[in-house]
Structure 1
Amino acid sequence: MGIERRRRVAGRRTGRTTAGPASERPTKAQRKEEARRERLEIQRRMARSRRTRWIAMGLVVVLVAAGAAYYAFRPRPKVQDPQELLAAAPQAAQAAGCTDVKDVGPYQPEALDRAHIGVPGGPPTMPPVSSYPSVPPASGPHNPTPWSRGVYSSPPPIDQVIHSLEHGAAVVWYAPDVSGAELAKIEDFYRDSSHGLKVIVAPYDYPDQGAAGTLPNGSAMALVAWHHVETCSSVSLAAAFGFTARYGIPPYGGRSYLGDAPEPATPI
């Protein structure tokens, strides 16, 4: 029996196999080809991964561009004509449940009506809002720095707003739970300074002031100028503009100024 045959027989008896002849082992060329195929497969996987990343990045860019285009060209509510609003103001004020404009008079003692807080001659801190002649306040001790015109989504410092009233500002206060299309119209309208150079629009919400920190009698809107207050049971752009056009400085369209701000020429 030959040597190779004896090996095969022995392997069958013991259950072990022995290495085949050298011709059954991969040659150097075969190993090289296998390595090449593995490299190609790795490269293909990497290429697919890169394509996936580029596609994902492209989608992100497209979505961002689409969002920017929508924001730039989205339909916006039409800003109403000021003259039409003024013509509609009396009827709108009635429909919104607005009171007549009240002259609430000066803060008492009157010597403090225009006093600055924290300076000689003025109180060291702001008195409670409940001590002012009206809610919201329309005069009285205030911060030495006025508040700037504009539309605000959070309550501004009330002591600075009072100072702005002294300079001829008109304020459109609204209750913090008010929302909806009419409030959006008010905000859009007054963002244009040509509709009120000294108009402030903001929520009235000062919990630390107790009952005086909310609008009175369930009002949704209060219109305030120096010594003057009008409250409404619902918000109305026409009613608001009917007030600010005559009680804010400068009055709109050459109308007569009905307010009595002591420093109307001073900016805010």
Structure 2
Amino acid sequence: MAERERLTNKERRAQSRDERKRREAELARKRKRNSLRNGLITAAVVAVVGAVLLQAFIGGPATLDDAILVNSSEVEDARAAAGCEMLVDREPLEDRSHFEANAAPSPDAIYTDVRPTHSGPHMLQTHPIVSSGANSQLDERSTTHNLEHGAVIVWHDPDQTDAGGEMGDWSETLNANGFANSRGGAAIFVSPYTDPGISSGKAIAFRAWGVAMDCDSWDEDVANGFVIDHYGTHGIAPERPLGPYPEGVLEYEDVEVDDNTDAPVDGQLMEEPEDDADTESTGDDGDAEPTEETTEDEPADE
């Protein structure tokens, strides 16, 4: 009888040990799961914070609180210092024919004068918008269609300038603040140009529809002035209503603008009125109401 009781007690102790081990194993598994979950949460938080900090320090275009103001006299001085030369001044090529991408002639066959071109025949499709600087040369045949819609393209020769990154940051900021129009393909493009190379031999080639200006070096004041003068509805592109010039982003601080188009008026420096009574009333805010510019050519459907 005593032997049976001792065996029973042993069995109970063994059962107790087994139950204790089971509970300890379950607790260990629970701790491991909690530790893994907490680790994942911590890693996610660190990743989010890191991304925010990275964005704050190096990434993303700046959102402008105020317009970038450019002085026209300083732009003229900057053009001279950068060795800029106006090759074509609002004189586009007459041929505006379109062709499908799969039937497109080579660029060398259709652009036989100033390279990169400022106008001329082009693909039926516009080039997708590249908000910052392109890593490789964009297709001249499709980007010419973007020019027709009011885009500005700044090409550069990487062998003559290392400002490609700076140029890309510049275009990205302006595109993010209203210059990129995804519907019409109007934007500010920056791209290297090595084949066949900038025909003038200079390092930088600014292009708008019917306008070609080449410079020996990159200068942001020069670039800003070119955009103000020729982007979208400020330029002469046949389908420029597809590239409306964004108000309050980039403008001259000392040049009169046309009340109807908001474009700079050539040679008209701003002057303070002599007497408030002599000025025309424009409303409570003092600004004339702009009207939409129209052209003889209606925007294409493509």
CA contact (8 A) 2:229 2:264 kept: yes
Give the aligned residue type for 1:185.
Answer: W
Give the aligned residue type for 2:178.
Answer: S
Give the aligned residue type for 2:219.
Answer: S
Is the deviation greater in 45-54 or in 24-33? Answer: 24-33
Within a 5 Å distance, the mapping from 1:102-251 to structure 2 comes to 102-103=88-89, 113-117=95-99, 125-129=104-108, 131-147=111-127, 151-154=131-134, 155-175=137-157, 178-181=163-166, 183-193=168-178, 198-205=186-193, 211-212=195-196, 214-216=197-199, 219-251=202-234
Query: Take 1:264 and 1:235, find their aligned partners in 2: how far apart are those partners?
Result: 34
Secondary structure of the corresponding residue to residue 191 of structure 1: helix
Larger Rg: 1
Q: Which structure 2 residue ranges, 5 or more long, are not aligned?
A: 235-250, 252-261, 268-294
Give the aligned residue type for 1:136.
Answer: P
Query: Take 2:82 and 2:119, find their aligned partners in 1: how far apart are those partners?
Result: 25
Q: 1:161 to 1:205 in 2, by over 3 A?
A: same
Q: CA deviation at 1:156?
A: 3.8
Give the aligned residue type for 2:190.
Answer: A
Q: 1:186 to 1:116 in 2, by over 3 A?
A: closer
Q: CA deviation at 1:50?
A: 1.6
Secondary structure of the corresponding residue to residue 231 of structure 1: strand
Query: Take 1:190 and 1:226, find their aligned partners in 2: how far apart are those partners?
Result: 18
Superposed CA deviations along residues 192-237 of structure 1, whole A, max 9, x for unmatched, are 225999443121346xxxx42x334664421112332111233222
Query: Take 1:91 and 1:40, find their aligned partners in 2: how far apart are those partners?
Result: 83
> TM-score of the superposition, structure 2-length normalised?
0.60
Q: 1:87 to 1:70 in 2, by over 3 A?
A: farther
CA contact (8 A) 2:152 2:207 kept: yes
CA contact (8 A) 1:97 1:234 kept: yes
Superposed CA deviations along residues 101-159 of structure 1, whole A, max 9, x for unmatched, are 4349665xx6xx2222259xxxx532433642111011222112334666254344321
Secondary structure of the corresponding residue to residue 222 of structure 1: strand
More strand by share: 2
Paired position in structure 1 for 2:74: 88
Give the aligned residue type for 1:46.
Answer: R
Q: CA deviation at 1:244?
A: 2.2
Q: 1:231 to 1:146 in 2, by over 3 A?
A: same
Query: Take 1:141 and 1:160, find their aligned partners in 2: how far apart are those partners?
Result: 9
Secondary structure of the corresponding residue to residue 115 of structure 2: coil
Paired position in structure 1 for 2:16: 33
Secondary structure of the corresponding residue to residue 207 of structure 2: strand
CA contact (8 A) 2:97 2:120 kept: yes
Query: Take 2:74 and 2:63, find their aligned partners in 1: how far apart are those partners?
Result: 17
Query: Take 1:227 and 1:106, find their aligned partners in 2: how far apart are those partners?
Result: 4
Q: CA deviation at 1:56?
A: 0.4
Identity of aligned residues (%): 21
Give the aligned residue type for 1:115.
Answer: S
Q: CA deviation at 1:184?
A: 1.4
Query: Take 1:52 and 1:31, find their aligned partners in 2: how far apart are those partners?
Result: 31
User: Among residues 264, 270, 276, which one is paired with 1:255 in the alignment?
Assistant: 264
> TM-score of the superposition, structure 1-length normalised?
0.67
Paired position in structure 2 for 1:3: none
More helix by share: 1
Q: 1:142 to 1:195 in 2, by over 3 A?
A: closer
